[in-house]
A and B are shown apart, each in its own frame.
Chain A
């Protein structure tokens, strides 16, 4: 007996949501991590630290993006995938903008 609503495939819509929405979300997380995580941009970094931290930030964006893309197909529908990913990244960029304004 099914006691759940089956997920819709919505291949195209979910794939695009994963690529675009997932990319936006990934970089909003990287933004918060780059500015306010350890060795953040608000502190004064040594040349060596900046050199390697920037590379690490770039590297980190890819696994986050790929994981979001992988699990996008779990959303009930394409529309829901877009809604969740876009609002999550909007929240991320919002927090980033507020924090950068404050600090």
Chain B
């Protein structure tokens, strides 16, 4: 396809500058996002199985809930009934809430024993997946603007740049698209391999990237957008307003749990009830949120759809469930969320999103490499921008990876120490991140990349090695994976270890190739002698 030369030039510049300004933020967002696809498994992997209480039959939930509400009045503010084997039957927060990242949340778990006696335990909430989610949404940038983390806005702007980079990338690829799409040339100029790989990754996963770019903009700026929309609505309300209920509520009038489940099942045929959260049970504003899951439909949430009901009148206030009454607008909005979260099609789609997230991180990294290779001049004298961007590319991407790998590697060992594990996670992540970033500036990208990749491989090996050790030496009081999901985390850690080691070997090979002036070049004794011998000859 022919595109005018001036348009190609304009969009090539646009692609270069939008890409280089957003790529490193997006790198962190994408690889952390890929990991959050398995957030429930990660949390189960991170905590000893002993923290989870025995499941009970559905018909015993009424007795359990009654006992909890009698003995722990605080639970009436917000108590969750769980119906999946992976969680204790009942839980409520002593401190904190299930949303967002906090480091000192405490949660009660409860169940019934065989004699219908209540068993409870107060357990600190492990925030490993919440921390990954924070990295995913903010790239680790702290601070708050209003009630939103500043990093969310930064990533929102990065996502806007990313959208421009996608459109401009496609435009300036159009003339050669058909010829080049599947050609990954590893012969000839080194740049070509990266260029072809970058194009292949970008075009092959373009729909995924377009969806992610635009949904992230919405997630970051929806408050501002609703504010603007309110101007256009004039005196019409944005959302339906109902007068707050004045009816006093008494827990004794609460319908049976089985009635709530029956309501959910009739409202959402084909769905499984995963959780019922009851809130403000003593107040007129009592409400219940029922999480329902159906792998055959696109879910509004990351894992579930939601039904909001009044637990006393059993009236459905609103719902995101796909049923015949669902409007086309609800279906469309749910699909925007679901397409970002990958919450459709079950495990298959979760794996696909995991791989596409990793591939996305590779896309951004390869873009930076291309930017660097293009700016490299012949000889030793290089632009300052080349050296700084080289150090930033290696430091930030490998720094974030090392931080996360170090958390996973240290997780089980940290439980043996008296520290607050969530604070330890934060310390480990930011310490590793800063070390690698500083090292990239002090020792240069080549040396940092070789060593950081080896450290990464080592940290990844520690994950399964810890479990092997835990199995061999029970006295250590560590634990081994007890389900397929948690086992897969350790298998993937091994896979990543092999990949990082292989990358380290590749960078080493590149560093010893005689390309003085490149950020990847390392002065080895060998290279120095050959250079000297050239000079002397």
Q: Contact check, B214 vs A73: say whether CB atoms are below 8 A apart.
A: no
Interface of chain A, main secondary structure = helix
Q: Which residue from B11, B233, B329 sits with its C-beta under 8 Å from A56? A: B329
- For B207-235 the 0/1 string (1 means CB < 8 A from A) is 00000011001100110011011001110
Collect the chain A residues with CB atoms within 8 Å of residue B336's CB.
Answer: 59
Q: Contact check, B10 vs A9: say whether CB atoms are below 8 A apart.
A: yes
A87 within 8 A of B: no
- List the 5 closest pairs (A to B, CB-CB), nearest first: A47-B240, A70-B167, A52-B329, A6-B6, A52-B330
Collect the chain A residues with CB atoms within 8 Å of residue B238's CB.
Answer: 54
- Most chain A beta-carbon contacts within 10 A, residue among B242, B333, B336: B333
Collect the chain B residues with CB atoms within 8 Å of residue A4's CB.
Answer: 4, 6
A13 within 8 A of B: no
List the count of A-B residue pairs having beta carbons below 8 Å apart. Answer: 97
Collect the chain B residues with CB atoms within 8 Å of residue A56's CB.
Answer: 329, 332-333
Interface of chain B, main secondary structure = helix
Q: Contact check, A51 vs B240: say whether CB atoms are below 8 A apart.
A: yes
B168 within 8 A of A: yes
Q: Contact check, B10 vs A73: say whether CB atoms are below 8 A apart.
A: yes
B318 within 8 A of A: yes
C-alpha gap A69/B11 in the complex (Å) = 12
Q: Contact check, B229 vs A54: say whether CB atoms are below 8 A apart.
A: yes
Q: Contact check, B222 vs A50: say whether CB atoms are below 8 A apart.
A: no
Collect the chain B residues with CB atoms within 8 Å of residue A9's CB.
Answer: 10, 13
Collect the chain B residues with CB atoms within 8 Å of residue A27's CB.
Answer: 228-229, 232
23 pairs, A vs B, C-beta closer than 8 Å = A4-B4, A4-B6, A7-B6, A9-B10, A27-B229, A30-B229, A41-B233, A41-B236, A50-B239, A52-B329, A52-B330, A54-B233, A54-B238, A56-B333, A57-B229, A59-B218, A59-B336, A62-B217, A66-B163, A66-B213, A66-B217, A70-B168, A73-B168
Q: Contact check, A34 vs B229: say whether CB atoms are below 8 A apart.
A: yes
**Residue of B at shortest CB range from A38?**
B328
Collect the chain A residues with CB atoms within 8 Å of residue B218's CB.
Answer: 58-59, 62
Known A52-B333, A55-B333, A56-B333: A69·B240 in contact at CB below 8 Å: no
Chain B nearest Cβ from A67, distance in angstroms: 8
C-alpha gap A55/B234 in the complex (Å) = 16
B7 within 8 A of A: yes
C-alpha gap A52/B300 in the complex (Å) = 12
Chain A nearest Cβ from B32, distance in angstroms: 23
B164 within 8 A of A: yes
B327 within 8 A of A: yes
Q: Which residue from A6, A30, A55, A70 sits with its C-beta under 8 Å from B232? A: A30
Known A4-B4, A49-B329: A31·B225 in contact at CB below 8 Å: no
**Residue of B at shortest CB range from A67?**
B167
Chain A nearest Cβ from B506, distance in angstroms: 35
Known A9-B10, A41-B233, A49-B329: A54·B239 in contact at CB below 8 Å: yes
C-alpha gap A30/B228 in the complex (Å) = 11
Collect the chain A residues with CB atoms within 8 Å of residue B240's CB.
Answer: 47-48, 50-51
- For A37-53 the 0/1 string (1 means CB < 8 A from B) is 00101000001111111
